[in-house]
Chains A and B, each alone.
With several copies, the nearest count.
Chain A
Amino acid sequence: MTITAEAESDTSAAGFEARARAWLEANVERAGAVRRTRGEELVAYERALQAKIFDAGFAALTQPEEYGGQGLGEPERQAWERAAADFAVPRMTYSVSHGMCGPIINLLGTEEQKAKYLPRLWRGDDLWCQLFSEPSAGSDVAGLRTKAEKVDGGWRITGSKVWTTSAQYCERGVIVARTDWDVPKHQGLTMFLIDMKAEGVQVNPLRVATGEKPFNLIFFDNVFVPEEDRLSELGKGWDAAVAMLRFERISIGTGSTRSEGPYAFDNVLAAAKKLGRTDEPGVRAALAELYVLEQGTSLLSLRMRAEAAAGIALNARGSIAKLAGAQANRRTAELVSEILGTALVSWSGFTPEGDGLYPGITAMFAGSASSWTAGGTMEVQKGIIGERVLGLEKDPQVDRGIPFTQIRQGA
Chain B
Amino acid sequence: MALTLTEEQLDFKSAVDDVLDSAGDTKRVREVQEAGAPFDDKLWKALVELGVPGILVSEDHDGLGLGLSEASIVLQALGAHISPTPYRGLAIATAVIAKSGDGALADEVLPKIADGSLLVVPAFAEGNGGWIPAAPSVTVSGGAVSGTKSFVLDGVAAQAFLVLATEGGTQGLYYVEAGDGVEVTKLDTLDRSTSAASVAFANAPARKVATADFGELLAYADAVASTVIAANLYGGFAKTLEIAVQYAKDRFQFGRPIGSFQGVKFPLAELAMEDELALSILRQATTAADEDPEDFVVAGLTALSKLQGIALEGAIRLVQTLGGIGFTWDHDAHLYQKQAATVRLVLGTPAERSERLAQALGI
Indicate if A touches B (C-beta under 8 A).
Answer: yes
Instruction: Judge if B363 is at the interface, Cβ distance under 8 Å.
Output: yes
- Chain A residues whose C-beta falls within 8 Å of the C-beta of B272 in the assembled complex: 320, 385-386, 389-390
Residue of A nearest to B318 (CB): A369
Complexed CA–CA distance, A58 and B255 (Å):
48
For the complex, give the distance between the alpha carbons of A345 and B346 in Å. Answer: 9
Bound-state Cα–Cα, A140 to B323, Å: 12
Per-position 1/0 for A308-335, Cβ under 8 A of B: 0010100001001001100100100110
B137 within 8 A of A: no
A205 to chain B, nearest CB (A): 11
In A206-223, which residues have CB < 8 Å from any B CB? 206-209, 211
B88 contacts the other chain (CB 8 A): no
B77 interface residue (CB < 8 Å to A) = no
For residues 377 through 411 of chain A, which have their beta carbon under 8 Å from a beta carbon of chain B?
Answer: 377-379, 381-383, 385-387, 389-399, 402, 407-411
Check A303/B309 contact, CB under 8 A, given A281-B355, A347-B187, A366-B338. Answer: no
User: A219 CB to closest chain B CB, in angstroms?
Assistant: 16
> Complex: how many Å from CA A398 to CA B327?
29
Tell yes or no: A282 within 8 A of B by CB. yes
| Interface size bracket, A side | 35 or more
Q: Decide if A280 touches B327 in the complex (CB within 8 Å).
A: no
Establish whether residues A287 and B361, one from each chain, have CB atoms under 8 Å apart when the complex forms: yes
- Contact of B351 with A285 in the complex, beta carbons under 8 Å: yes
Inter-chain contacts of B277 with A (CB < 8 A): 296-297, 299-300, 324
Assess the B352–A398 pair: CB atoms within 8 A.
Answer: no
Task: Report if A234 contacts B (CB, 8 A).
Answer: no
Q: How far is the CB of B1 from chain A (nearest CB, A)?
A: 7
| B86-130 Cβ-contact flags toward A at 8 Å (1 or 0) | 000000000000000000000000000000000000000101111
B320 with A209: CB separation less than 8 A:
no
Total A-B pairs in contact (CB under 8 Å)?
Answer: 292
A362 touches B190 (CB 8 A): yes
Give the distance in Å from the alpha carbon of A340 to the alpha carbon of B349 in the complex: 8
Q: In the complex the two chains form, is B361's CB within 8 Å of A137's CB?
A: no
Residues of A within 8 A of B306 (CB): 292, 295-296
Q: Is B217's CB within 8 Å of the partner chain A?
A: no
Which one, B196, B252, B320, contacts A372 given CB within 8 A? B320
Can you name the residue of chain A whose Cβ is closest to the Cβ of B198?
Answer: A348
Measured CB to CB, the closest approach of chain B to A323, in angstroms, equals 5
Contact with A along B253-264 (1 / 0, CB 8 A): 111110111111
Minimum distance in angstroms from B176 CB to a CB of chain A: 20
- Shortest C-beta distance, B344 to chain A (Å), equals 7
Contact across chains for A288 and B305 when beta carbons are under 8 A apart: yes
When the two chains form the complex, which single residue of B3, B252, B330, B341 contacts A410, counting CB atoms closer than 8 Å?
B252
Q: Could you tell me the dominant secondary structure of chain A's interface residues?
A: helix
| Contact B327 A369, beta carbon cutoff 8 Å | yes
Query: Cβ of A379 and Cβ of B261 under 8 Å apart?
Result: yes
A282-B324 Cα distance, complex, nearest whole Å: 33
Provided the pairs A292-B306, A385-B273 are in contact, do residues A341 and B281 lie with their beta carbons within 8 angstroms?
no
> Known interface pairs A346-B189, A385-B273. Does A306 touch B341 (Cβ–Cβ under 8 Å)?
no
CA distance A277 to B245 in the complex (A): 39
Interface size of B by Cβ–Cβ distance < 8 Å? 89
B311 CB to nearest A CB, Å: 10
Q: Which residues from chain B contact A409 at a C-beta distance below 8 Å?
A: 252, 255
Is the beta-carbon distance between B283 and A303 smaller than 8 angstroms?
A: yes
Check B145 for interface membership: any CB of A closer than 8 A: no
CB contact under 8 A between A382 and B270, given known A287-B358, A345-B341:
yes
Contact with B along A5-33 (1 / 0, CB 8 A): 00000000000000000000000000000
Interface membership of A102, Cβ < 8 A: no
Report which of A292, A306, A337, A362 forms a contact with B3, defined as CB distance below 8 A.
A306
Measured between beta carbons, the chain B residues less than 8 angstroms from A299 are 3, 277, 280-281, 283-284
- In the bound complex, what is the Cα–Cα distance between A269 and B246 (angstroms)? 40
Residues of B contacting A288 in the complex (Cβ-Cβ under 8 angstroms): 305, 354-355, 357-358, 361, 363
Q: How far is the CB of B8 from chain A (nearest CB, A)?
A: 14
A174 contacts the other chain (CB 8 A)? no
How many whole Å from B322's CB to the nearest CB in chain A?
A: 9
Q: In the complex the two chains form, what is the Cα distance from A343 to B342 in whole Å? A: 10
| Selected A-B contacts with CB under 8 Å, 8 pairs | A208-B329, A209-B333, A278-B363, A303-B279, A327-B270, A385-B269, A386-B259, A410-B251
Other than the known A300-B276, A390-B272, what 12 A-B pairs have Cβ atoms closer than 8 Å? A133-B324, A288-B354, A296-B306, A323-B273, A338-B349, A342-B345, A345-B342, A367-B327, A386-B259, A389-B269, A393-B256, A409-B255
Residues of A near any B CB (own CB < 8 A): 133, 135, 137-140, 143, 162-163, 206-209, 211, 257, 269, 272, 275-278, 280-289, 291-292, 295-297, 299-300, 302-303, 306-307, 310, 312, 317, 320, 323-324, 327, 330, 333-334, 337-338, 340-348, 362, 365-367, 369-370, 372-373, 377-379, 381-383, 385-387, 389-399, 402, 407-411
List residues of B whose CB falls within 8 A of some A CB: 1-4, 125, 127-130, 150-151, 185-191, 194, 196, 198, 245, 248-257, 259-266, 268-270, 272-273, 276-281, 283-284, 302, 305-306, 309, 312, 316, 319-320, 323-330, 333-334, 337-338, 341-342, 344-346, 348-352, 354-355, 357-358, 361, 363
